[in-house]
Amino acid sequence: MEDVAHPAPAASRGNAFGADLVGRGDWSSILTWAVLFAGPLAVLITAATLTPSVEGHGTHTQLGLPPCGFLVYTGYPCPGCGLTTSFSHMIRLEVLGAFHANPFGVLLFLCTAAIVPISLIGIVRRMPVIDTLDRLHAEKIAIGLSVVSILVWILTIGVQYFSA
C-alpha cells in the first residue's frame, strides 16, 4: 500500500538517453528544439526552390528522386503523391493549386510552417520539449493529421476510380 505522505515517484517522462526533457529546458531540449526548427525550415526552403508540377504530382523528381512507385505500379496515387507539389504551391500562397495537388498538403504545410516559430520560441525561452508538446496536445494533432491523410487518400482514389 502506498504511503500518502510519501507517494510513489511519477513515471519518468521525457527521459531520452538520460536527458531531462520535462523540467527546465536544458541542452537536450535546446538541441531538440533546434532540430524541430531546422527540419521544417529546410522543408519550406526546399519547397520554395522547386517549381510546382503542372500534373499535380511529381515535383519531387526535381530533387533527383524517382517517380512514385505506387503510382507507377497501380495507376493510383499514394497518400504522399502531390505533397511536394502542394508545399511548393503553398509557399507561393497558391492555395487552390496546393489543394488540387493534394488537399491534405495544405493542412500539413500549415502545421509544418507553425513548427518553425514554435520551436524558435522554445529555444529562446528554454522551454522543455515534452511539457510543451503536452500543452499543445501534439499526440492529438498527430492522430488527427493521420486520419485526415487517410480520408483524403481514400477520397482521392475513390474519385479517380469512379471517374475512370
What average pLDDT is seen over the chain? 89
The residues, ordered by sequence, that sit 6+ positions from 88 with a Cβ below 8 Å of its Cβ are: 47, 48, 50, 51, 52, 59
Q: Report pLDDT for 26.
A: 83
Q: Report pLDDT for 164.
A: 74
**Poorest-pLDDT segment among 18-22, 93-97, 101-105, 118-122:** 18-22
Report which of residues 26 and 10 the model is more confident about. 26
Would the pLDDT of 25 be above 50?
yes
**Poorest-pLDDT segment among 8-17, 22-31, 150-159:** 8-17
Report which of residues 13 and 45 the model is more confident about. 45
Q: What is the DSSP string of 57-124?
A: S-GGGGGTPPPPHHHHHHSS--TTTTHHHHHHHHTTT-HHHHHHH-HHHHHHHHHHHHHHHHHHHHHH
% of residues, the chain, pLDDT over 70: 85
Q: What is the DSSP string of 117-151?
A: HHHHHHHHTT--HHHHHHHTTHHHHHHHHHHHHHH
Q: Report pLDDT for 24.
A: 60
